[in-house]
């Protein structure tokens, strides 16, 4: 959740949180925006969310809403994990993925002209609990050495923190994560790989034709010499 009002407790005095599938008591307006994804920049939006026929996107980057809030001068709040109808879905994030999100947001704010200084916006991660769950929410232990690794920004492809999350949430082994990475590369790079393969096959065909022509020329020369 991004906005100017940071609050850590609710009106009941309990730590602030949402319940999954509940509907929030407010709607989208000029200062409130719901997002069911965490794609901050345009480059973060996956290619399958873009209509190739008219080059329009079915998913809008969050930076677009942030720019609108800044231009109005009134500010606003983006709620990541709340769907358009106001239903809380949540976005599952590890501490490493939270760091990635903060870096993506800072990168987007720095890309505006003029850049938006850090004191002009705040970020708050609010837990989403299942019905019947008890607060507090516990994070898994993190490694500061791992946390210091650079993140891969401005891309729809997985960052290392996303692969780490797969292992944390689903119990994948390092071998499983490696295989998923290879499958992802094949999936998203298949057009480039196919083009490279076709180019290679075209080159081989041309090379074969040239070799055949040279061999034919040599044979013709030999036949002429024998006739003489």
Q: Provide the residue count of the chain.
A: 228
Instruction: Specify the pTM.
Output: 0.68
Helices (H) and strands (E) in the chain, counts: 5, 8
pLDDT tens figures, 113-153? 999 999 999 999 999 988 887 765 566 678 888 889 999 99
- C-alpha 128/C-alpha 135 separation (Å) is 10
| Token pair of 110 as six digits | 């720095």
Which residue's entry shows tokens 């606003």? 76
The parts of the chain modelled with pLDDT lower than 70 are 1-15, 52-53, 55, 135-140, 169-194, 197, 221-228
pLDDT tens figures, 70-93? 999 999 999 999 998 999 999 989
- C-alpha 110/C-alpha 112 separation (Å) is 6
How would you label 133-143 residue by residue, b for 16+ Cβ within 10 Å and e otherwise? eeeeeeeeeee
């Amino acid at each position: 959740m991004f906005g100017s009002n940071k609050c850590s407790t609710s009106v009941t005095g309990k730590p602030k949180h949402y319940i999954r599938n509940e509907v929030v008591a407010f709607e989208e307006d000029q200062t409130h925006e719901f997002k069911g994804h965490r794609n901050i920049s345009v480059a973060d939006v996956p290619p399958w969310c873009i209509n190739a026929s008219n080059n329009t996107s079915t998913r809008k980057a969050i930076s677009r809403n942030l720019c609108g809030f800044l231009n109005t001068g009134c500010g606003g709040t983006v709620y990541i994990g709340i769907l358009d109808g106001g239903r809380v879905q949540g976005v599952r994030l590890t501490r490493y993925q939270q760091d990635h999100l903060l870096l993506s947001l800072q990168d987007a704010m720095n890309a505006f002209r003029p850049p938006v200084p850090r004191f002009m916006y705040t970020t708050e991660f609010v837990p989403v609990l299942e019905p019947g769950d008890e607060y507090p929410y516990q994070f898994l232990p993190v490694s500061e050495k791992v946390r210091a690794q650079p993140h891969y920004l401005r891309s729809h492809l997985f960052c290392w923190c996303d692969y780490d999350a797969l292992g944390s949430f689903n119990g994948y082994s390092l071998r499983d994560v490696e295989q998923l990475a290879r499958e992802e590369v094949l999936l998203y790079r298949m057009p480039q790989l196919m083009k490279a393969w076709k180019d290679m096959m075209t080159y081989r065909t041309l090379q074969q034709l040239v070799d055949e022509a040279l061999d034919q020329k040599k044979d013709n020369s030999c036949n002429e010499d024998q006739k003489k």
